[in-house]
Amino acid sequence: MPVLPSGYSIRRVESSDYEGVVETLKVLTVVGDVTKEQFEETVAYWNEVTVKSKGESMKAYNPHVITDDSGKVVATGNVFIERKVLHDCGLVGHIEDIAVAKNQQGKKLGQLLIEHLSDLALSRGCYKVILDCDEKNVGFYQKCGYSIKGVEMDRRS
Amino acid sequence: MPVLPSGYSIRRVESSDYEGVVETLKVLTVVGDVTKEQFEETVAYWNEVTVKSKGESMKAYNPHVITDDSGKVVATGNVFIERKVLHDCGLVGHIEDIAVAKNQQGKKLGQLLIEHLSDLALSRGCYKVILDCDEKNVGFYQKCGYSIKGVEMDRRS
Ligand SMILES: CC(=O)N[C@@H]1[C@@H](O)[C@H](O)[C@@H](COP(=O)(O)O)O[C@@H]1O
Ligand SMILES: CC(=O)N[C@@H]1[C@@H](O)[C@H](O)[C@@H](COP(=O)(O)O)O[C@@H]1O
């Protein structure tokens, strides 16, 4: 496994990460005009939702950032935990919204983030972790220990 | 759009649906030894989690069943609503665990269920609804208004 460059760290998103997360997410897709207030409210919501399973209670949303040696956000991603009936009332981790700042690519930050989020979900008892990605990113996720499982389909409003 | 056969109806899952839901899900995948108590606890959890967005609060999990003219569960599926930062702090509906009893196939129950769950998610403000399926079900979901978006990948414990 690669390791984080010196001075970089990985931690849960905080409400003060507004600018860093919003800027970083723009690499992935449309972010829109998210205000500081809306961001903070979303983080508060993420902090509040719990998933209970087999007597334990844990956070359902697990948004993370990697920060560089100056504390700047350079990567972000989330894993939320879904509770099902199938697979013995099993839990599934959904990895979402992975983005690495353009000028930070080549440092394996994406791989480290995926590893961290996957381990988090598996260690909380998920029987699987899934994610949806573009065809062009399949090779990257295979390097992170993921296999092709099926087809993602969508319907837009 | 097809319509439900006479006497059939669609409604939210109740804790008394234990046998019907567990039996029906076996068409889709491994269910395991889910007890009545575990099922009821899962339904209670699903009823409890809310998603707040733009001042409104609604249920995050929306598990449904179709029942036949005798009240028996013949199809089941869920849509849960995820809250993001991207797309203006947008919401995404995730359709999960769609199963139709084998002896009920050919009545378009699957299509009716998908339509119902998709409308529910879009009417609550989701900018998209997504699902993951086997290659062999792509044609079915296309008939339900879905398009291929990407690749589903997984990592198992
Ligand atoms: C592994 C990963 O990060 N996948 C993301 C997904 O989480 C995100 O929701 C989507 C946004 O795309 P959209 O703007 O088309 O909804 O992009 C990618 O599929
Ligand atoms: C649209 C739909 O119903 N998709 C389901 C998914 O929701 C479910 O979680 C999975 C279980 O499969 P597993 O037993 O391999 O986890 O099967 C299908 O992909």
Encode pLDDT of B69-106 as tens digits.
Answer: 999 999 999 999 999 999 999 999 999 999 999 999 89
For residues B84 and B92, give the distance between their C-alpha atoms in angstroms, rounded to a whole number.
8
Does A114 reside within a domain? Answer: yes
DSSP 8-state secondary structure symbol assigned to residue A107: S
Provide the domain limits for residue A42. 9-144
Cβ-contact B100, B110 below 8 angstroms = yes
* pLDDT (average), residues A125-154: 98
For residues B42 and A85, give the distance between their C-alpha atoms in angstroms, rounded to a whole number.
7
Residue B1 has a pLDDT of: 76
Does B2 reside within a domain? Answer: no
Residue B135 predicted with pLDDT over 90: yes
* Dihedral (CA of A111, A114, A120, A124) sign: negative
Q: How far, in Å, from the CA of B96 to the mean position of ligand 2? A: 6
* A88: Cβ contacts below 8 Å, ≥ 6 apart: B31, B32, B33, B34, B38
A7-31 confidence digits (pLDDT tens): 999 999 999 999 999 999 999 999 9
> Crossing angle of helices B36-48/B18-25, nearest 10°?
90
For A55-90, b where at least 16 C-beta lie within 10 A, e where not — what string? Answer: eeeebbbbbbbbbbeeeebbbbbbbbbbbbbbbbbb
> H-helix or E-strand containing B38?
helix B36-48
Does A115 reside within a domain? Answer: yes
Q: Does A133 contact ligand 1 (Cβ within 6 A)?
A: yes
Torsion angle, CA of A91/A146/B99/B123, rounded to 10 degrees? 80
Distance separating the N- and C-terminal Cα atoms of chain A: 41
Tell me which of A57, A58, A79, A84 to substitute to probe the interface with B (most B C-beta atoms closer than 10 Å): A84
Residue B5 predicted with pLDDT over 80: yes
Of A22, A24, A59, give the one whose Cα is nearest residue A39.
Answer: A22
CATH number reported for the structural domain that contains residue B100 in this entry: 3.40.630.30
Cβ-contact A109, A66 below 8 angstroms = yes
Of B35, B130, B98, give the one whose Cα is nearest residue A155.
Answer: B130
Does B151 reside within a domain? Answer: no
* pLDDT (average), residues A71-99: 98
* Beta pairing partners, A148: B153
Q: Does A27 contact ligand 1 (Cβ within 6 A)?
A: no
Confidence of residue A134 (pLDDT cuts 50, 70, 90): very high
Cβ-contact B28, A86 below 8 angstroms = yes
Q: Which ligand neighbours the alpha carbon of A110 most closely? A: 1
* Beta pairing partners, A130: A94, B154
Are A33 and B150 within 8 A, CB to CB? no
pTM (2 d.p.): 0.98
Residue B2 has a pLDDT of: 86
Q: How far, in Å, from the CA of B106 to the mean position of ligand 2? A: 21
Does B153 reside within a domain? Answer: no
Residue A56 has a pLDDT of: 87
For residues B101 and B72, give the distance between their C-alpha atoms in angstroms, rounded to a whole number.
11
Q: Give the total number of structural domains in chain A.
A: 1
Q: How far, in Å, from the CA of B87 to the mean position of ligand 2? A: 26
* pLDDT (average), residues A84-98: 98
Q: Does A97 contact ligand 1 (Cβ within 6 A)?
A: yes
Does A19 reside within a domain? Answer: yes
Q: Name which residue sits closest to atom 8 of ligand 1, judged by CA.
A: A97
B126-133 vs B91-100, strand pairing mode: parallel
By Cβ distance, the residue of A29, A128, A134 closest to B86 is A29
For residues B150 and A151, give the distance between their C-alpha atoms in angstroms, rounded to a whole number.
6
* pLDDT (average), residues A62-89: 98
Residue B39 has a pLDDT of: 98
Cβ-contact B38, B48 below 8 angstroms = no
Residue A1 predicted with pLDDT over 80: no
Does B106 reside within a domain? Answer: yes
Confidence of residue B55 (pLDDT cuts 50, 70, 90): confident
For the CA of B134, the closest atom of ligand 2 is 19
Does B121 reside within a domain? Answer: yes
Helices first, then strands: H and E counts in chain B: 5, 8
User: How many C-beta neighbours within 10 Å does residue A133 have?
Assistant: 18
Residues in chain B with CB shorter than 8 Å from the CB of A23 are: none
Residue A143 predicted with pLDDT over 80: yes
